[in-house]
Structure 1
Amino acid sequence: MNLKAARGDLDSRMFDLVNMILLSLFTIVILVPLWNVVVSSFSSGRALAEGGFLFWPSEFSLENYRAVFRDESIWQSFLISVSKTVIGVVTHVFFCAMVGYGLSKKYVRGRKLYMTMGVITMFFSGGMIPTYLLIKSLGLLNSFWVYIIPALLSFYDVIILMNFFRNVPDSLEESAKIDGAGDWRIFLYIMIPLSMPAIATIALFNGVGQWNDFMTTKLYITDQSLYPLQMKLYEIIVQSQTQSMQNSGSFAIETTTKGVQLATIVITTMPIVVMYPILQKYFISGMMLGAMKE
């Protein structure tokens, strides 16, 4: 019996060792390229032109970032990105939570029909041209609300929240109704606070999607004052490529197209990198609880 216990303990330690080695290698594979991108973004054009893998900038330079921030309208684009991300996340989460809370009740009339319609939208869409015509007919072209209204509902998120609401004991809701609380009060003051892990998970997914969204601007926006950061940085990269071709001498010494591209990568990913650790503690619990049913 002791031999079996000792062998089981050895197997467990071997598994932990192998697991730690594999995870360490996986972490290195992820971190090393990221570190190279950050370091290269702070390198001069001459250092980047020499090529090679950089662990530390041989010629430290902020010219790549100056090239990005030289356009003063980038701050307007940054404001648009922050605004559409914050407003989009809040409205998306609140709208999906309302729909999920309603569909979590079996006594709701037409519930099966609504569920069927929602599931269909997860697998089929109208296509690019019909969607464009719909956006145009709604008057959302060259409008800030084109970032918000079409992204209000995701039935995948509705299902996560719906299953989460089902796990809340019915006795809690019944007690609130006995105390005189209505459906809105129960939803706002009981269901929303209890579902914060699921809401934080959905907010993280939707926030990343809103921040990185590029195609919405490409398809529906021509007014440059409504360009988000992603679209503005795309223009800066195109301009730097043109400038590099026209002036391959002094420009190549101070900065390069590659350097500008690396700087834009750092700028666009930094807000998400900062926000993710804040929401990480809710991430796993939100996904697990929202995916389980009684």
Structure 2
Amino acid sequence: MAAATKNWRKQRTTGEIIFDVLIVILMCAICFITIYPIWYVIVNSFNDGADAMRGGIFWWPRVFSLENYKTVFKDSSILTAFGVTVLRTLVGTVLNVFFTAMVAYGLSKTRLIGRNFYLTMGIITMMFNGGLIPTFLLYKNLNLLDNFLVFVIPAMFSFYNAIIFMSFFREIPASLEESAEIDGANDFLIFLRIILPLSKPVLATIALFSGVYHWNDYFSGVIYINKPSLQPIQTYLYRMVAEAGSNQMAAQTADVVKSTTSMSLKLATMVVTTLPIVCVYPFLQKYFVKGMMIGAVKG
């Protein structure tokens, strides 16, 4: 085995070696471009706000300080927005996964009456939508404006996720359902007792999709929410950045320390809002990779 490996290495041409080196350099460059902006935000969030105005902080905090994070967690409005985001993510993800899986299970059955019609309508909704103004008026008529349910109800179903579910459900042996039907189980009981327990990979995949969407969505809070007590953390951060940008010149001339503190607070808030979803991803990664391979290989 060792001799074969040695002979294979000798057979490699100079061009192949150069190509491999270039690939490694390119991948390292891509990793650096991807990771360094995140590292830059983290480093500056742990640096003293007044000192950060001098610039030149690239790799490590020059004046280490936790005041930015202390100020963030002392702000009751930030904590309220964070709580809204956590609650929205949990409730919205559970409802989206459950209802999308339930609809997809029904659509995966060829005996469903009107199945082709439902599939056609679902595909149309993936390509076209009613637009922002009709959607706003619809939510207004449904009394969803300034209502927590505006985060949850419109996101309870996704046809794109339903397609992934259907691909997985088709791979489950029909004999399992037939045996349950013989024992007297109905379709809903089969879905709860048999289908869902066997669908952990795709459930984790869709939960990750939905959770990331709910956690990162700021647009819904900007358009449909006026109450400060209902705005999610991403909307709070968006408004903080927008207000700081519009008042940047005045803040710099009026109070240098305040301007710098505002910037450092934005960076600290970005870290706080991003860290939870980043910590969740590694625990779902193995299911995520398996779920994304659904339908990619056919026997």
* TM-score, structure 2 as length reference: 0.87
Residue 282 of structure 1 deviates from its aligned partner by: 0.6
User: In the alignment, which of 248, 254, 261 is matched to residue 255 of structure 2?
Assistant: 248
Letter in 1 for 2:199: S
* Local SS of the residue matching 2:226: coil
Q: Structure 1: 5+ residue runs without aligned partners?
A: none
Q: 1:103-124: CA deviations, max 9, x gaps?
A: 0000100000000000000000
* Local SS of the residue matching 2:196: helix
Stretches (4+) displaced over 6 A: 15-18
CA contact (8 A) 1:160 1:291 kept: no
Q: What residue is the counterpart of 1:163 in the other structure?
A: 167
Cα gap change, 1:282/1:21 in structure 2, threshold over 3 Å: closer, same or farther?
farther
Q: What residue is the counterpart of 1:276 in the other structure?
A: 281
Q: 1:210-261: CA deviations, max 9, x gaps?
A: 0111111111111111111112233444566658347424435xx4333222
Structure 1 stretch displaced more, 87-96 or 58-67: 58-67
CA contact (8 A) 1:244 1:256 kept: no
User: In the alignment, which of 41, 45, 51 is matched to residue 49 of structure 2?
Assistant: 45
Structure 1 stretch displaced more, 21-30 or 263-272: 21-30
- C-alpha distance in 1 between matches for 2:261 and 2:78: 19
User: In the alignment, which of 186, 201, 204 is matched to residue 197 of structure 1?
Assistant: 201
Aligned pairs for 1:216-235 (under 5 A) are: 216-235=220-239
Residue 188 of structure 1 deviates from its aligned partner by: 0.8
Letter in 1 for 2:255: S
- C-alpha distance in 2 between matches for 1:91 and 1:218: 23
- C-alpha distance in 1 between matches for 2:202 and 2:23: 29
CA contact (8 A) 1:142 1:220 kept: yes
Residue 181 of structure 1 deviates from its aligned partner by: 2.1
Residue 80 of structure 1 deviates from its aligned partner by: 0.9
Residue 288 of structure 1 deviates from its aligned partner by: 1.0
- C-alpha distance in 2 between matches for 1:192 and 1:172: 13
CA contact (8 A) 2:237 2:270 kept: no
CA contact (8 A) 2:50 2:257 kept: no
Cα gap change, 1:161/1:57 in structure 2, threshold over 3 Å: closer, same or farther?
same
Residue 62 of structure 1 deviates from its aligned partner by: 2.1
Residue 289 of structure 1 deviates from its aligned partner by: 1.3
Structure 1 stretch displaced more, 192-201 or 87-96: 192-201
Cα gap change, 1:118/1:11 in structure 2, threshold over 3 Å: closer, same or farther?
farther
CA contact (8 A) 1:74 1:232 kept: yes
Residue 290 of structure 1 deviates from its aligned partner by: 4.9
Cα gap change, 1:72/1:247 in structure 2, threshold over 3 Å: closer, same or farther?
farther
CA contact (8 A) 1:161 1:290 kept: no
Structure 1 stretch displaced more, 229-238 or 89-98: 229-238
- C-alpha distance in 2 between matches for 1:83 and 1:287: 27
Letter in 2 for 1:289: I
Aligned residue pair count: 291
Aligned pairs for 1:73-222 (under 5 A) are: 73-222=77-226
- Using the aligned pairs only, state the percent identity: 48
* Local SS of the residue matching 1:139: coil
Letter in 1 for 2:70: R
Cα gap change, 1:47/1:163 in structure 2, threshold over 3 Å: closer, same or farther?
same
- C-alpha distance in 2 between matches for 1:233 and 1:94: 30
Structure 1 stretch displaced more, 97-106 or 240-249: 240-249
